[in-house]
Structure formats: C-alpha cells, structure tokens
Amino acid sequence: SHRVAIVSSHLSPVMASEKEAALAATPSDSPTIFDKIISKEIPSTVVYEDDKVLAFRDITPQGPVHILLIPKVRDGLTGLSKAEERHIDILGRLLYTAKLVAKQEGLDEGFRIVINDGPQGCQSVYHIHVHLIGGRQMNWPPG
C-alpha cells in the first residue's frame, strides 16, 4: 500500500520530501535511518561524537547551520513523548552537547533548538533527535 511504501522509504538515504512523509509517518519502534548513520553504514557529516551522543549535519538544512544530535543508543526513546526517568541523563546530555556544538559552529548570536514529536509535531524519524539550527534570524511563531 501507499502507506507501507512511505514508511519503508525511511530506510533509504534520501527522501523526496521529508515533511510530506512526516505527515503520513506512523510512530514506530522499527529501526530508523539513524541506526545506519550511527554505524557509519550510511555516511554523514559528523561534527561531534562521544560514547553517548552523535551530532551530524541535516541532509535538508533549514539554515546555514542545521545539525541533528542523537543518542547512540535509542533505548525506547523514539520521541520525547516516550521519555522515562531513565532517560533524564541522555536528555540533559543532548541539550548540553547542543550548546557545545553551537559554540563550535560559531553561533554566538543565538540559535534555535527544536524537538519534533509525533505526527502533529511533524516528526519523521522515530529516534529522538535535537535540531540545532542557526546562522540566520529565526522567526516566531514557528510554522
């Protein structure tokens, strides 16, 4: 079916329209494209890495700087709405690492942090990730 085709396309390196897919995406516990980015099976531009966090450039940047920060181990954290007490440490690390990477990227005038959750939040990849966007003036409210 159409739905199956869209969901399985999450495993391909490039999607025609991530946001169109997001509108149709069903929250899922299945492996995501980010597993292959973590394993380096699919290349990405890594800007920061330690034993727990990977940060790499978004393939469809929404600003001069657009980086995704993800936990290397998903541990059930498909999205923020699935957070449990055991995730408090990794959630803090993702935000603190975003600050380090913002500094590394020279975003001294500010930046935007986004976590999309679920269909209405336009989430398209069900492995929690923090968007770090900067290098241009942001607007409020977001779309």
Q: What is the CA radius of gyration of the chain?
A: 15
Catalytic annotation present for 2: no
Interface pick for ligand TR5 out of 125, 128, 132, 133 (rule CB under 6 A)? 125
- Considering only residues 11 to 70 of the shown chain, the ones binding ligand TR5 according to CB under 6 A are 13, 15, 18, 22, 33, 42, 44, 58-60, 68
Residue 111 burial (10 A CB sphere; 0-12, 13-18, 19+): buried
Task: Give Cβ neighbours of residue 25 (< 8 Å, ≥ 6 apart).
Answer: 6, 7, 10, 119, 123, 124, 126
Cβ distance to ligand TR5 smaller for residue 108 or 139: 139
Binding site for ligand TR5 (CB under 6 A): 13, 15, 18, 22, 33, 42, 44, 58-60, 68, 116, 122-125, 129
